[in-house]
Amino acid sequence: MHSLPDDRTARAKIRDEALRLFGERGPDAVTVRDIAAAAGVSPALVIRHYQSKDGLRQAVDEHVTAVFEAMLTRAVGTGDGDPLDQAALPTLAEAMAEFLPADSPIPSYLGRLLLAAGPVGTALFRRLHEVSKDALAALAQAGAADTGADPDVRAAFLLVNDLAVLILRPQLREVLGVDPLSGDGMQRWATETLSVYRTGLGGNTDPT
């Protein structure tokens, strides 16, 4: 990422197609020949640029992580204006919808990254848990929420609720009839989650 002449043609295209295919089917189900064909190059060129398939996977990992990190800082950065409102917590999916094109392969790849065993996914998950804990603490300090008896678990609970939309996107789309990362789907999802976060599931919570 330093001083290479230009990332312009074949090399970047290989990485982008790999990102897309990895996100769709998972790295194990994608062959070097698949990637080469999708990028319109020969399999040998893929290896020539990235040494190995695993090298390519690492390059995609780093690229996706970098994009996501930039997105994170921008997302929490914008929260400074009105630091804590209803939208301060479930911003992960919303940030993706805002900063990425609707057909971006990054959400899918991120979902796989978080699921796969490995240092990258683990670090990413831990990072997100920290962000979640910080957000919860900020909400609590502002009196907009309570950290609960077990702040670590509560933050993890909030986090996985957000990640579920990434990880189970195909299944949710199948069952709900709408892509949970689309505008409409996010609206419906956010409404319900915020409702629960605000007042719980409802019902006769207090016998007044």
The site for DNA (CB under 7 A) is made up of 5, 9-11, 30-33, 40-48, 51-54
Decide: is 82 part of the binding site for a copy of itself (CB under 8 A): no
Decide: is 121 part of the binding site for a copy of itself (CB under 8 A): yes
The angle at the Cα of 171, spanning 101 to 199, to the nearest 5 degrees, equals 85
Nearer to a copy of itself, 55 or 170 (CB): 170
Instruction: Calculate the alpha carbon distances from 23 to 14, 34, 103, 110 in Å.
Output: 14, 13, 12, 8
Contacts of 187 (CB under 8 A, 6+ apart): none
Tokens of 169: 């996107």
Quote the least distance from Cβ 117 to DNA, whole Å. 17
Nearer to a copy of itself, 50 or 189 (CB): 189
Instruction: Calculate the alpha carbon distances from 138 to 64, 154, 188 in Å.
Output: 28, 14, 25
- Secondary structure of residue 79 in the 3-state scheme: coil
Quote the least distance from Cβ 50 to DNA, whole Å. 8
- Interface residues toward a copy of itself, by CB under 8 A: 26, 28-29, 114-115, 117, 121-122, 125-126, 129, 139-140, 143-146, 148-150, 152-154, 156-157, 160-161, 163-164, 167-168, 170-172, 174-176, 188-189, 191-193, 195-205
